[in-house]
Structure 1
Amino acid sequence: MSEDFTQLDYIPAMSAKTDYGIGMIGSGFIVRTCHLPAYREAGFRVEGIVSRTKANAESAAAGFGIPKVYDSIREMLDDPAIAIVDIAVPPHLQPEIIAEAAKAGKHILAQKPLAVTYREAAETVRLCEEAGVRLVVNQNGRFDPAVMAAKDLIRKGFVGKPVFATIELRYKPHWQEYQKRYERLMFLFMSIHHLDQFRFWFGTPNRLFASAIPHPEGLYRGEYSSSYILEYGNGLLASAWDDGFTWDEEGFGVFYKIEGTEGVIRLNIGWPSGGPSRIAYLSRRPGSAWHSPELAGSWFPGAFKYTMNEMFRTLTTGEESAISGRNNLETMAMMEACYMSVREKRSISIAEVMESAVSR
């Protein structure tokens, strides 16, 4: 390894054009704490907002200097000042709103997960492509600075051949009321970040095996803690434990490790503590020591400007985004494979999920 790995290239370049008019659909917690603060910091132009409860939209508009509050989604879609709609609603509601926006000719930044099932997601992508509008999915976990820095190290060959990678989530999520009613929970809302991060680093696996358990006290309908193993054609094995049951607050966090033939990387994204994202890496070369550079930026809310920037970039250059709706179908297929694996108690190939949706 002759390259100087102390210099990390992990901050995404901003689009040459960033003044597209944005319409915000939703005014909940994630909008107020992530979307709008990130857009304000980046100087993006949010033209208007609409929400199920107009008073909530008015409050967000007042807090972030948004000039328009609409009475309905239809009113927003009829506004020529809006080029992009940024949707932040529950996934069971999102496909219908996306379809309506696509028919109106608006480009769409959709919340993740794109839909509740792979089949619904695939239909949503098809509708957007037929309408000729861009669909980008807010897989913001890719844009955490430590995750991006790890990608740069992998790309440069620091770890050599990746051999084993793990993600360990230990945290009791603050589930929203609507999520408590879902029959799908941990894989759908939390694991989808980790599945996509594995995919970002290493590509789509050949197959996976998953297992999950409910909350021991039956408080939620969906799976509450989960584990999954990803198998790659090049011999890489990746796995994750997403533990929503844990109550030991001192152990809360998300911890990552990537081991390769030439180096190892450790990450801590600083969530939920609110601390900075951190990365440390060690080469197998004799005399090497751990290197732990300070990283600029954050996942929350910083990464959210980069997902919107992906939309700006694809509109400006015409190039497909790495988080486009079409590309995101492979992440959704991984999520669907987890449910299939739990249900059928076997490993599932990602191709099987995607092909089965087409054949039905």
Structure 2
Amino acid sequence: MLDIFAPIAAACDISVPPGEGLPVAVVGAGAIVDVAHLPSYRSAGVEVRGLFDLDAERAREVAARHGVPTVYPTLDALLADPEVRIVDIAVAPAAQPEIARRALEAGKHLLCQKPFVPDEATGRELIELADRLGLKIAVNQQLRYDEGIAAARAMVEAGWIGEPTAMTFTVNIATDWSPWPWLVRNDRLEIMYHSIHYLDAVRSVLGDPETVFCAGGRTPGQLAAGETRTISTLVFPGNARALVHATHENRTGDPEALVRIDGSKGAIRGTLGLLYDYPHGRPDTLEVNSRSLPTDGWLPYPVTRRWIPDAFAGPMASLMRAVSGGGEPYPSARDNLGTIRLVDRLYASMDAGHSMPVE
């Protein structure tokens, strides 16, 4: 690796520091736990003590595949295990808040999935409960830890492209929604369950916008009830703007998943490799063109890890550091309320047909 990239690579570290590992139990044994959570935790050295799923046969199968020693017969049994310090909740979003309440009341720190909550009021309630009990909640917005996104953010923070002025995600793919029947029936789809990743990544680089506009639509003949094509624009204080353009009904077999950040002294561009062959994917690509360093044209950054499964270790490692050493995990539930608020305002704009302030 070029020496110039050493601090960027260090900023992308998602390892669990020695001595900070804490026993984890997982609620849910669905596909994402099977292909992302458990493989990433194993690679990062996270101790997964056990898991629970309403489908006991599925739970036993997944546990055996990943060497998880315990399958709990009930959620109560999991929460009663005194060795478990952290509960990773990986269930359908509607079920998450009640499980989170029960886990907090049992004295467990939490890693919750996105969307963290259906509304801000529920989020504030859970955060207040955690604060009262001295517990931590992290949210698994793991795109922040995808190596390409994490490296791009580190380059921006290092001043390599000067003042950031624009951030763009362009995603044009075909998504099979059928594995998630509850999602197929949902009238809120693309922003809440997919572009929330990109919107959260934008917030991690540019902060919170002042005003947003969103237009959404469907494609004739699509399976899903909700919107599958969206264009979201975000206006930030000062000069920065963002665009997230996502389409899930690409029927021509030429997927693209692009990210670009422009600034006053250069730009960063790359691809989200996962979306070119989901769920297997490939490593991201990333290049920087900087008058600040300077570079000689576009300089490639050597991305070696993948969004799935590698990035899933990031939020868990951050939560463990926060539990062991104090401070807030990244992203914390409190921070993630900004993403929930942004999603809410984008849907309000979609429904109203005009821009909305983000209060």
TM bin, normalised by shorter chain, reads over 0.9
Structure 1 runs of 4+ with >6 Å offset: none
- In structure 2, distance between residues paired with 1:147 and 1:232: 20
Partner residue, 2:13: 12
- How many Å separate the matches in 2 of 1:5 and 1:282? 13
SS in 2 for 1:120: helix
1:143 match: 145
Shift of 1:120: 2.9
Q: Distance in 1 between matches of 2:125 and 2:350?
A: 24
* C-alpha distance in structure 2 between counterparts of 1:124 and 1:226, whole Å: 30
Residue matched to 1:206:
210
Structure-2 change in CA distance of 1:214 and 1:291 (3 Å)? same
Q: Is the 8 A contact 1:227 1:240 kept in 2?
A: yes
Residue 246 (1) aligns with residue 232 (2) = no
- For 2:225 and 2:162, locate their aligned partners in 1 and report how far apart those are by CA, in whole Å: 43
Distance 1:66 1:40 in 2: 10
Question: Relative to 1, partners in 2 of residues 1:277 and 1:168: Cα closer, same or farther, differing over 3 Å?
Answer: same
1:1-360 aligned at under 5 Å gives the runs 5-7=4-6, 8-9=8-9, 10-12=11-13, 14-175=16-177, 176-217=180-221, 219-250=223-254, 252-272=255-275, 273=277, 274-284=281-291, 288-351=296-359
Structure 2 counterpart of 1:241, one-letter code:
H
Compute the displacement of 1:98 (Å): 0.3
CA distance in 2, matches of 1:211, 1:126: 34
| TM-superposition CA deviations, 1:294-316 (whole Å, max 9, x none) | 12322110011111101101001
Shift of 1:16: 4.4
**Alpha carbons of structure 1 residues 186 and 287: separation in structure 2 relative to 1, 3 Å:** closer
- Give SS of 1:249's match: coil
Seq. identity, %: 30
CA distance in 1, matches of 2:26, 2:242: 36
Deviation at 1:87, TM superposition (A): 0.6
Give the residue type in structure 2 aligned to 1:278. Answer: T
The Cα offsets for residues 44-98 of structure 1, whole Å up to 9 and x where unpaired, read as: 1111110010011101111111111111111100110111100101111100110
Between the aligned partners of 1:143 and 1:27, the Cα distance in structure 2 is 22
Coordinate RMSD, CA, aligned: 1.7
- Aligned to 1:136, the other structure's residue is in SS state strand
Checking the alignment, whether the CA contact within 8 Å between 2:229 and 2:248 is kept in structure 1 is: yes
For the residue of structure 2 that corresponds to 1:47, the secondary structure is strand
Q: CA deviation at 1:277?
A: 1.1
Distance 2:53 2:310 in 1: 23
User: Partner amino acid for 1:91?
Assistant: P
Which runs of no fewer than 5 residues in structure 1 stay unpaired?
Answer: 352-360
Q: What is the TM-score of this pair, normalised by structure 2? A: 0.92
Give the deviation of 1:349 after TM superposition: 2.1
Deviation by residue 1:113-146 (Cα, 9 ceiling, x = unmatched): 1123333333332332233321100010000111
* Alpha-carbon separation, structure 2, partners of 1:102 and 1:294: 40
Deviation at 1:6, TM superposition (A): 4.3
Cα deviation digits, residues 181-229 of structure 1 (max 9, x gap) = 1121001111100000001111111121111113423632221111110
Q: Is the 8 A contact 1:171 1:245 kept in 2?
A: yes
Counterpart Cα distance in 1 of 2:353 and 2:61:
48
Q: For residues 238 and 200 of structure 1, what CA distance do their matches in structure 2 show? A: 12
Say whether the 8 Å CA contact 1:112–1:137 is kept in structure 2.
yes
Cα distance in 1 for residues equivalent to 2:195 and 2:218 = 15
Distance 1:348 1:15, change over 3 A: farther
Letter matched to residue 264 of structure 2:
T
Alignment gaps of 5+ in structure 2: none
- Quick one: which amino acid aligns to residue 39 of structure 1? Y
The Cα shift of 1:278 comes to 1.1
Cα distance, 1:40 vs structure 2 = 1.0
